[in-house]
Every structure is written in structure tokens, then in C-alpha cells.
Structure 1
Amino acid sequence: MAVVVGFIPTDVGFKALAAAREQAERRGGPLIVVNVVRDGVTSDPRHANDQQLEIARDQLRQAAVRVEMRQDHTDDDIADVLLRVVTEEKAELLVLGIRRQNDLARHLLGLTVQKLLLAAPCEVLVV
């Protein structure tokens, strides 16, 4: 069964990528890596550039399952894009990396993560 990971090019994003690889290999894959780029937003640190995507590919090169890297562009909600991919791929698991900035974990996680936790039609692993 498929594992989808919402990838952002940060330390926690790369940890989520490693966890997603492990889960995909355990479950028999494939692993779908999705970096969502919001159109019209030029300086978002969640957008992976070519070099960061290549680092992610290198991290996954020896994976024992098929890996698909996607960079989806949208002017929509990031959570909606990930939910669409999870549904299209019939994913068994969605993996997310969250930053551990306190303030009660940024008011209990943040809107995107909350939406994904509540609406995902599969298990969600938060790293």
C-alpha cells in the first residue's frame, strides 16, 4: 500500500522523509513524496528548490520500494492538495513533519496539520 509524505526542505522534513521511507518499505510501498508549491508565493521556505529535491532523491535512492517525487503547484490549500494525492493513490499512510515551535505547539499544531489529521482517509504519522 502507498505511503504519501508531505515534504518540506527542512531538518524535520528530511526526518519525515526517512520515516516515510521506512514505513513504505515495511508496508511494501510505493512511496509518494509531495512538495506543494503555492503559486504566487515566491519566498516560502516550504517550497523545495532543485538542489533540495536532489538531496531528497539521494536520501531515497537505495529505497527498496518505488519512489515517486512530485512537486504540485496550487493556489489552493496545501492540505487539500495532500488529501487529493492520498485519495488518488489510495494511500494507507500519510506522513507529516512538523516544526516543534512551542507556544503550545503553535496553538495545537497549525491549521494545515489539524485539517490533515481530521480529514485524512488513512492513518497519519506525525514526525
Structure 2
Amino acid sequence: MTVLVGYLPTPEGEAAFVAALEEAGRRAEPLLVINSPRGGAPVSAEAASSEHLGGLSVRAAAAGVAVEVRQTPHTGELSEALLDVAEEVGASLIVIGLRRRSPVGKLFLGSTAQRILLDATRPVLAVKPDR
């Protein structure tokens, strides 16, 4: 089995990576890091640089955790792409980072995290960054 983490180069993504790395080590499972920018976008804040992703691999290796990093663009909903990968690899756990949203934001805007939490057929660990 594999621990899967949805990663963005944000404080929430960092919190998710740290939690996923700890879980992978505790479970003695490999870690799969998914960084999936929106396909077709000329510039994406979701895309992590290759140097940044390489740093994640170094940190995982230092923790004794086997890691694979995938940076495949997605079309449609990010939640669907992440859940598809979870099924593909037989993930034992999906780890995601949560950001603070206002009640109005929750009402009018969809939430990738909410969709993952509601639609996942596997356990999901949702974490927030330290303040």
C-alpha cells in the first residue's frame, strides 16, 4: 500500500507533506507525492518547481521513506484526479492540507478538500498548517 499526498507549494501543502511523511514512516509504506497543476494554464500557482519537488524527495530519503513524485497536469476537478490516483495505486491513506475559508467562501465556492473528504473510498487525513 501507499500513502498519497496532494501537494501544493503552500503552507497547507507543506503541512500535508509533513503529516504524510510521518504516516508513511509509521506505516513502513512508500509515499506518493502528487503535484497536479491545471492543464493548459500558461502559469499555475499550483505547480511546484523541479528544485522544490527534489527537496521533498531529499527529505523523504533522509527519513528513510521511499518516495515517488508525480507532476501530471489535470483537467477538470483536482479532487477527481487525486481520487483516481488513489484508486490506481491502492492508497492506504490520502493526506491533504486545509486552508481557512470564511463562511461566505464556503457557501459560494466549491472546495477541493470537501469533495475529497466526501467522495474518497479510502481514509483521508486533513491537516492545517501551524499558525
Q: Is TM (by shorter chain) over 0.5?
A: yes
How is 1:47-62 mapped onto 2 (pairs within 5 angstroms)?
47-62=47-62
Aligned pairs, how many?
126
- Give, in whole Å, the separation in 2 of the partners of 1:60 and 1:29: 12
79-88 vs 9-18, greater mean Cα deviation: 9-18
Pairing 1:88–2:117 present: no
**Are the counterparts in 2 of residues 92 and 123 from structure 1 also a CA contact under 8 Å?**
yes
Alpha-carbon distance in 2 for matches of 1:57, 1:110 = 31
Identify unmatched segments of 5+ residues in structure 1.
Answer: none
- Partner SS state of residue 39, structure 1: coil
2:19 corresponds in structure 1 to 19
Following TM superposition, by how much is the alpha carbon of 1:105 offset from its aligned partner in structure 2, in angstroms? 8.5
- Distance (whole Å) between structure 2 residues aligned to residue 51 and residue 9 of structure 1: 12
Moved more, 26-35 or 48-57: 48-57
Identity %: 39
Runs of 4+ off more than 6 Å: none
Q: Secondary structure at the match of 2:98?
A: coil
Deviation at 1:110, TM superposition (A): 4.3
Cα distance in 2 between the residues matched to 1:110 and 1:6: 17
TM-score of the superposition, structure 1-length normalised?
A: 0.88
> Is residue 60–residue 66 contact of structure 2 (8 Å, CA) maintained in 1?
no
Residues 93 and 123 of structure 1 are in contact (CA less than 8 Å); yes or no, is this contact kept in structure 2?
yes
Query: What is the TM-score when the length of structure 2 is the normalising length?
Result: 0.86
Unmatched runs of 5 consecutive residues or more in structure 2? none
* Cα distance in structure 2, aligned partners of 1:85 and 1:118: 16
3-state SS of paired residue (2:62): coil
Superposition CA RMSD, Å: 1.9
